[in-house]
Amino acid sequence: MKKQEKVQFVIDTLNKIYPEIPIPLDHKDPYTLLIAVLLSAQSTDVRVNQITPLLFEVADNPYDMVKLTVEEIREIIKPVGLSPMKSKGIHGLSEILIEKHGGQVPVSFEDLEALPAVGHKTASVVMSQAFNIPAFPVDTHIHRLMYRWGFSNGKNVVQTEKDAKRLFPKDLWNKLHLQIIWYGREYSPASGWDLERDIITRTIGRKSEIEAYFKKKNKTKKTLKR
């Protein structure tokens, strides 16, 4: 299969498996999405979705958020991890949204990335999922699968994002990045990977990855036989 045929195979397969794709983080507007994405760093979406209702019950907009102290925010969000940094970021960005943006989340990569604790990935998620502006946020699942599928060299997420944007049509980015995330979780995880279930990697995957999979599987079988 040529590279473009592989790309089309991925698109077609993901559309069959995920014709409609839910957004993993619960939110009701750009601000609550921004906070949820910020909280998701080095945490799970499930954990974040357990904590955000508690936080948003107290403050679901920047005006109410700045009434809380950093310590009060930290106490609520502690279970998601990295709470000292995240609580400062949430309070600080809420202040800036009020001072510079009229309390609204800006529709701009530059303005979003200027906010405390907001990096390129967080900004990309907000632009894509809150404002429907084409972006390709790269998380660990996308980074892993782009390498497994032979679409990127796996050096870093910056390169992976460039490769994804180059290979996939721009009008599909917003849906596709979510489809790949769900596929990575359900069919092609980092641990407990079953190639039999992973039709995409099994069909178009990087040869070295497939060989490494079977080598590990055979090693495990030999160990179990002892």
Instruction: Give the integer Cα–Cα distance in Å for 26 and 34.
Output: 11
pLDDT at residue 221 in the model:
67
Q: Residue range 92-103: average pLDDT? A: 98
Of 26, 45, 111, 139, the catalytic one is: 139
With 0.85 as the threshold, say if the pTM is over it. Answer: yes
Could you tell me the residue ranges of all domains in the chain? 1-23+133-226, 30-129
Looking at domain 30-129, which of 1.10.340.30, 1.10.10.60, 3.40.190.10, 3.60.10.10 is its CATH number?
1.10.340.30
Torsion of CA 116, 74, 54, 185, to 10 degrees: 70
How confident is the model over 149-164, as pLDDT tens digits?
A: 999 998 999 999 999 9
Q: Which of 6, 60, 86, 121 is catalytic?
A: 121
Confidence tier at 226 by pLDDT (50, 70, 90): low
State the pLDDT at residue 222.
64
| 139 is an active site residue | yes
Q: Tell me whether domains 1-23+133-226 and 30-129 share a fold.
A: no
CATH 3.30.499.10 fits 1-23+133-226, yes or no: no
221 in catalytic set: no
pLDDT value for 219: 79
